[in-house]
Copies of this chain bind each other. A is one copy, B any other.
């Protein structure tokens, strides 16, 4: 089976098509998979989150290209990472690749050398995705080792934000707002009490609210907010068939706090 190449970007379909034109010069049809080109523009943290969770289930040996790159053309390094399972990650050294690489295990890194990847053709200063990362991915998918395309390098090792707290008070932040307006946090579902419990939830600068911990969307009435165990294994705040992002005016990077158990207390708004 051909080695797959995945694409995760904030550049939209049209620019991504220019990357595919490069890839299709040498790769078999069908070996290039669009993960998403809808990462919010310039949002490296959300790109890193999405890449990790979209890509970690792909077969070992897949080449993952991520282009969320507000610093394109600057001195930030262009990177290739090889992981313990034989996968390869290609993209800018701004943290977008590291959480996935770290999860796939024992990453080795090189700084891509344009002269080795595309001899005689220096990349444009505004679109290395097409001019450097795509040709590198094509070479790597064809079997090249990362060491053939660059020199050992010490990349930015920034993990996803780490949640903190005690079983009574868990603090984290919003990592992702999905298409439905669900707020995915970094607090593990296993930290929270099981469905049926109640939680005191503080999102961003909003006042504290009491929400139910529910098992699935259909367990709450339409329009009601609740706390769920998301499919990422992380707590999520959602409004059934509505948008929690709009309801709570919350977005990526906003702090979140879950507290329990609910003792006698006044002045908390029930939602």
Does A28 interact with chain B (Cβ within 8 Å)?
yes
Judge whether B25 and A126 touch: CB under 8 Å.
no
Q: What is the CB-to-nearest-CB distance from A73 to chain B, in angstroms, rounded to a whole number?
A: 3
Q: What is the CB-to-nearest-CB distance from A63 to chain B, in angstroms, rounded to a whole number?
A: 12
Q: What is the CB-to-nearest-CB distance from A212 to chain B, in angstroms, rounded to a whole number?
A: 14
Hey, which chain B residues are within 8 Å of A126, CB to CB? 216-217, 228-231, 236
Chain A 96-144 residues near chain B, CB threshold 8 A? 124-127, 130-131
Interface of A is mostly: loop
Interface size on A, residues (CB 8 A): 65
Judge whether B54 and A18 touch: CB under 8 Å.
yes
Judge whether B38 and A33 touch: CB under 8 Å.
no
- In the bound complex, how far is the Cα of B14 from the Cα of A37, in angstroms? 9
Does A29 interact with chain B (Cβ within 8 Å)?
yes
Contact of A11 among B8, B50, B74, B179 (CB under 8 A): B179
Judge whether B33 and A130 touch: CB under 8 Å.
no
Q: What is the CB-to-nearest-CB distance from A69 to chain B, in angstroms, rounded to a whole number?
A: 9
Judge whether A70 and B12 touch: CB under 8 Å.
no
- In the bound complex, how far is the Cα of B1 from the Cα of A69, in angstroms? 33
- In the bound complex, how far is the Cα of B180 from the Cα of A28, in angstroms? 31
Q: What is the CB-to-nearest-CB distance from A240 to chain B, in angstroms, rounded to a whole number?
A: 8
Q: What is the CB-to-nearest-CB distance from A271 to chain B, in angstroms, rounded to a whole number?
A: 20
Judge whether B29 and A2 touch: CB under 8 Å.
yes
Judge whether A15 and B178 touch: CB under 8 Å.
yes
**Residue in chain B with minimal CB distance to A189:** B124
Hey, which chain B residues are within 8 Å of A30, CB to CB? 28-31
**Residue in chain B with minimal CB distance to A15:** B178
- In the bound complex, how far is the Cα of B223 from the Cα of A70, in angstroms? 12
Hey, which chain B residues are within 8 Å of A186, CB to CB? none
Hey, which chain B residues are within 8 Å of A231, CB to CB? 15, 18, 124, 126-127, 130-131
Chain A 180-214 residues near chain B, CB threshold 8 A? 180
- In the bound complex, how far is the Cα of B130 from the Cα of A231, in angstroms? 9
Q: List 13 A-B contacts (CB under 8 A).
A: A2-B29, A8-B17, A14-B35, A14-B54, A25-B59, A70-B217, A70-B240, A72-B216, A74-B219, A76-B218, A125-B228, A130-B231, A131-B231
